[in-house]
């Protein structure tokens, strides 16, 4: 097997988490442009589409040429949970396209929601009937297949699918609480997460942050439950910010992209909180988060490109 073919075999489905981060950054800047008068989101959207198409092309080639490698990923207790990053990428692109093309946004939303429901059913069936998973296998990445359903209402309500949006929101919310309990049990009472999975702790921020945005879309109100969701997300952001020395010591891996989308979700939630509450202090928090998000994704993009040229990713794990 030549070197290029070997890299294709080891092309990870988790690469699509970079599309989630870029899409989140795009949407965040779309919202921020209304406040700050800066126009960069169109360029970010083009970049996100380009990255998505390139990654989809590579993974399709892997699926066609090395189906056994794809099947092996689908049986892996960690990588299995990254397959829905594909459907979540479609859902986020649906949100990003709302200001530009309602029709294209609708097609992306239908495709993303349908595919994500399929992933949820398949992954949960595997969880229920598995014979090899242990408590040490669970980590925040397990949120992705099930809790990702919370994203559906953001564009779903805009397209008029209110009851379908409540269906997806309910799934994501209930199983977020179940998995949150399991994840905290695992990190408190068992061995620490492997270093390459430590960045997935940032995924803890995403469910309450996206949950706040979706709940606001569904109810158009800033009621007590909406505030609970937002402030839980804010607390988790502060909690993880206190762990910055731990994250700074880690060696770069694709798992670092786990920093991106949760931070984008928190930025969007804060901008939405300001708009709904009218409290100007949230503008300052939103600016800080947006600046941090932009710098982090720029850094992640640079580190990823460097790792590609150094052939440090898309290699067989030791």
**Residue 2 pLDDT:** 55
* Spatial contact of 177 and 207, defined as CB atoms under 8 Å apart: no
The CATH code belonging to domain 3-309 is 1.50.10.150
Query: How far is the C-alpha of 258 from the C-alpha of 299, rounded, in Å?
Result: 13
Structure tokens at 283: 């503008």
| 3-class DSSP state of 23 | helix
In this prediction, the residues of the chain whose per-residue pLDDT falls under 50 are none
Query: How far is the C-alpha of 74 from the C-alpha of 255, rounded, in Å?
Result: 17
Structure tokens at 309: 């040229």
CA distances from 140 to 35, 134, 201, 224, 259 (A): 33, 14, 6, 26, 12
pLDDT 10s digits, 112-155: 999 999 999 999 999 998 888 889 889 999 999 999 999 999 99
**Residue 15 pLDDT:** 94
* Spatial contact of 139 and 186, defined as CB atoms under 8 Å apart: yes
For 101-107, the CB contacts below 8 A with 24+ separation are 102/159, 105/155, 105/158, 105/159, 106/159
Q: Is the dihedral of CA 170, 175, 178, 184 positive or negative?
A: negative
CB neighbourhood size of 182 (10 A): 13
């Amino acid at each position: 097997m030549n070197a290029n073919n070997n890299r294709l075999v080891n092309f990870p489905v988790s690469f699509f988490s970079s599309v989630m981060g870029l899409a989140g950054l795009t949407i965040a800047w779309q919202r921020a442009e209304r406040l700050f008068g800066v126009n960069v989101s169109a360029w970010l959207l083009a970049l996100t589409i380009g990255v998505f198409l390139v990654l989809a092309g590579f993974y399709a080639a892997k699926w066609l040429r090395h189906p056994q490698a794809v099947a092996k990923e689908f049986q892996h207790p960690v990588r299995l949970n990254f397959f829905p990053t594909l459907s979540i990428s479609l859902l986020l692109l649906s949100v990003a396209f709302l200001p530009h093309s309602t029709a294209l946004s609708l097609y992306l939303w239908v495709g993303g929601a349908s595919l994500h429901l399929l992933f949820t059913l398949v992954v949960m069936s595997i969880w229920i009937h598995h014979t090899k998973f242990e408590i040490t296998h669970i980590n925040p990445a397990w949120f992705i297949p099930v809790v990702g359903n919370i994203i559906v209402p953001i564009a779903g309500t805009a397209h008029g699918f209110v009851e379908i949006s409540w269906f997806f929101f309910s799934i994501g919310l209930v199983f977020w609480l179940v998995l949150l309990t399991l994840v905290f049990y695992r990190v408190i009472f068992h061995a620490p997460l492997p270093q390459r999975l430590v960045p997935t702790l940032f995924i803890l921020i995403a469910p309450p942050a996206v949950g706040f945005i979706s709940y606001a879309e569904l109810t158009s109100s800033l009621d007590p439950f909406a505030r609970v969701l937002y402030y839980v997300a804010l607390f988790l952001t502060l909690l993880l910010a206190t762990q910055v020395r731990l994250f700074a010591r880690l060696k770069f891996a694709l798992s670092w992209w786990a920093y991106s989308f949760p931070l984008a979700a928190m930025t969007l939630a804060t901008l939405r909180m300001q708009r709904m509450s009218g409290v100007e202090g949230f503008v300052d928090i939103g600016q800080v988060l947006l600046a941090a998000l932009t710098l982090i994704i720029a850094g992640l993009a640079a580190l990823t490109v460097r790792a590609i040229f150094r052939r440090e990713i898309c290699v067989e794990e030791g």
